[in-house]
Structure 1
């Protein structure tokens, strides 16, 4: 073989590595990763070049035809992964961790987004990936044109060197975490909790590899984790009795988690019954539902039940069903003599609710699908109150605690969704040609949820139970099921929310004094607030009682972003500040990090078992 052929073959080796790096660069560039970490930074580029070398080595070790097929298959798999992640980022402004794929079934409901994604930008992204892959297959050199073993060994060595060198390109981890430690790329790489930041730090190949490693790695020192938990809970001020302590003691409780009934959805026009209860009840006007990982509905459910947030980069529905949660509301109320049952449309295996709700302390989980004639009937929230068998389970023992998860507001909202069609046929007045069809669908489906409240009030009144019953209502997440993000943001802004994550939360009972609570609150505050209202022991969780005068109120999000009544800090940058000092902001930054650490430690160690 002459020198010209050798040079061409060696160039082919390089160009076989290049497409994998270009795939990474295309994904990071088009997904806005530069906002987190520079595209030209050494670490992600080294990682991707190293993995490209590894994949090329594996393919070059095969005969030429087999090598090209293997190369094409390998690249195609990563290209599909990149397309999925890019699509998810376009919808949710985040990427999927490996554990998120456990919720793939829920993702089928997002098929309506496909039409929104198939624009020139998305087509350009896919086209670039195809071009890079075709170029790599074409340029992959013949195995016989090179000293195959030496080349493959060299590529594998390069991969190993990049694995050693790339993590050392990140900023060092601060010795203390008292200030903005999250801004250290080394700290985030170690923690690996913010998918958008992590993809920017690593690129797709190392993103998957590190996520898998952390998922399989043995737990950290349990004694140190337990000490951290104990210190955090000890530093939290003990709840002091206040004017709301024991206010609802002995009353029946119907706790309702709404599906997608956003702050701009719940109003006199769309949900007249709920709007009346909110107006006549105690209304938390600055309540936020941070979205942790995928499976947003269940993760909010978990937070409200346990006073803990789930893992930022993982799931809890399938991993913690055997963990102990003795301080949940169901456990505390059952200890006080209550019956506790939960109700929803979906079957028990969905989100592993059958097992998880037992862990939460419920005596039974009841699915409407077990009683309804078809999917549409089961998905109509009113059915939970209309069905005599289900209603009897709600009230058969007193005092009772019923947890209801609504369904009617679930995405999608377009013409292909059967429940949307049903809702608009039932309430054709919501079909307004002056606004997007999806908005009309969302509003009509919200009216179906409102029928549940209307019917429950009727039946409880007929049975003489309403006078001793409380409704506590909150939302699972903002209406992210709207495929047009601009429309969502416009309606949310018109409702006055500072963030998309602001959602309704209120409670009502006959004779309630209408009250507005403007303190900034979050999902994990629901449990301690209800515990105080019912005169129950204070739960040993990071959440706080909304009526505790020592609690100023805040909402903390999984990437370390946080909000109080006075300030909003996103990705370490102060978006607005109306009176917090630099020291107070630093303290809140530290608290946001500790909340994540302690929450994960409680879950990792099954902290409550035996305590």
Structure 2
């Protein structure tokens, strides 16, 4: 274990005067100090110091032709034609980012269908061969991810969706997804697929205006239908929580039999807390299916909610097969966050990992399932911000990998999972930003320069994600 000071990035001085990192600042200096800092910054103004990596851009060797996932952006011209200091720094940063290469996975799902699901409260513990057989089948076939991490950010489910659908790190202290409704989002999920002639619907079986999804999801190109703007005419929206299975029943007709391919998004709600049998409609509905389990009441109630989600997935697979679309559809399922309605003790009743561990609590399951894919185990460290660029590469979409904070999972880039307090995980180990310790997970020697470099990368990703919101940067690029 290395005790690492890292004064250049997260010293107390930088947190107080140069860096906007509320969660890390609270952990290091206390809540009252952070509140005082907020008041000071609100009163007198604050501009975060931007640190640009000035490493030289890698030149492509002539004898080796490599294709990258990039747009043809002339950053030098953009720099010369603006006087906006922040934007100039951003241009220099994104110009310096190494893009991901196109690879053997590029375009293997070109013109195929996609169903992308952010699943409320979904977790590795929800995958059980006997309790949730459909989820078990999907999680253990096709692409099997052993090192997927789903970090929890302050705006909970909305931030979980944001990372998956936008590919950026949420800005601390604001509702990031809501903010995107007012800026240009050309790399948003729906817009990217609509450019390719896809039908792109988004569905949610709860209130359409909650977290301002009615405007944020529309702005990333989704034809968004939820309870309150149309879905209530198709299903019962008066339960709490509502049924994922009923949502599937009510919505597949919107897209499944169309001639053009579809890229459909679902935000589920059946798995929502609280996990009990007296205030949770989905837990009560499936109570008989879990009453003989040898777990605490809360864990049984949690499984009951996930059974409803499992039923929804079983129905979805059936509907796709009936329509003759199953073999030509990739289904992606990611959690919004771990089920924090359960205590660590309750999670550990059924988890294979120690969920009280800072890092293992976020170590969970990502599903990418297609009925025709051969099984492939992916051990690379990945997280939710990697999903969007991975999907774009799999579908052969033209995008610029430098402009998203995640990386194509199937590229040769180093795997990196970033937690909300700026701690991180790579294949070499885990860095705790609060106590500044690095714990190796391999026998490979890791020096302080490596830790310093990853900290710099993490800090830049937070800064650039925030600035993209603040400056309407994609509009500045003209993409």
Tell me the TM-score range normalised by the shorter chain: 0.7 to 0.9
Change (3 A) 1:450 1:180: farther
Is 1:268 aligned to residue 132 of structure 2? no
Q: Which of 195, 199, 214 in structure 2 is aligned with 1:339?
A: 199
Q: Which of 208, 212, 225 in structure 2 is aligned with 1:365?
A: 225
User: Any idea what SS the aligned residue of 1:575 has?
Assistant: strand
Q: Which residue of 2 aligns with 1:509?
A: 370
TM value normalised by structure 2: 0.83
Q: Which residue of 2 aligns with 1:235?
A: 96
Cα pair 2:169 2:405 within 8 Å, conserved: no
Q: Which residue of 2 aligns with 1:607?
A: 473
Q: Which residue of 2 aligns with 1:485?
A: 344
Structure 1: which 5+ residue stretches go unaligned?
A: 1-177
Deviation for aligned residue 1:459: 1.4
Mean alpha-carbon deviation: is it higher for 394-403 or for 330-339?
A: 394-403
Is 1:195 aligned to residue 195 of structure 2? no
Deviation for aligned residue 1:582: 2.2
Deviation for aligned residue 1:330: 1.4
Cα deviation, 1:280-305, whole Å, max 9, x if unaligned, reads 211222111222223x1110111111
User: Any idea what SS the aligned residue of 1:253 has?
Assistant: strand
Change (3 A) 1:433 1:530: closer
TM value normalised by structure 1: 0.66
Cα deviation, 1:41-66, whole Å, max 9, x if unaligned, reads xxxxxxxxxxxxxxxxxxxxxxxxxx
Q: Which of 416, 437, 440 in structure 2 is aligned with 1:576?
A: 440
Mean alpha-carbon deviation: is it higher for 378-387 or for 224-233?
A: 224-233
User: Any idea what SS the aligned residue of 1:379 has?
Assistant: coil
Structure 2: which 5+ residue stretches go unaligned?
A: 49-82
Is 1:414 aligned to residue 276 of structure 2? yes
Q: Give 1 or 2 for the bigger CA radius of gyration.
A: 1
Q: Which residue of 1 aligns with 2:86?
A: 225
Runs of 4+ in structure 1 displaced over 6 angstroms?
none
Deviation for aligned residue 1:545: 0.5
Q: Which residue of 2 aligns with 1:404?
A: 266
Mean alpha-carbon deviation: is it higher for 443-452 or for 265-274?
A: 265-274
Is 1:181 aligned to residue 8 of structure 2? yes
Q: Which of 378, 382, 386 in structure 1 is aligned with 2:245?
A: 382
Mean alpha-carbon deviation: is it higher for 218-227 or for 563-572?
A: 218-227
Higher relative contact order (CA 8 A, sep 6+): 2
Q: Which of 204, 208, 221 in structure 1 is aligned with 2:35?
A: 208
Q: Which of 306, 320, 324 in structure 1 is aligned with 2:166?
A: 306
User: Any idea what SS the aligned residue of 2:84 has?
Assistant: helix
How many residues are aligned here? Answer: 426
Is 1:436 aligned to residue 296 of structure 2? yes
Q: Which residue of 2 aligns with 1:391?
A: 252
Change (3 A) 1:538 1:441: same
Deviation for aligned residue 1:604: 1.1
Q: Which of 475, 492, 499 in structure 1 is aligned with 2:360?
A: 499
Q: Which has a greater percent of helix? A: 1
Deviation for aligned residue 1:321: 1.3
Q: Which residue of 1 aligns with 2:458?
A: 592
Cα pair 1:195 1:313 within 8 Å, conserved: no
Q: Which residue of 1 aligns with 2:405?
A: 542
User: Any idea what SS the aligned residue of 1:243 has?
Assistant: coil
Q: Which residue of 1 aligns with 2:309?
A: 449
Deviation for aligned residue 1:452: 0.8
User: Any idea what SS the aligned residue of 1:301 has?
Assistant: helix
Q: Which of 523, 526, 531 in structure 1 is aligned with 2:387?
A: 526
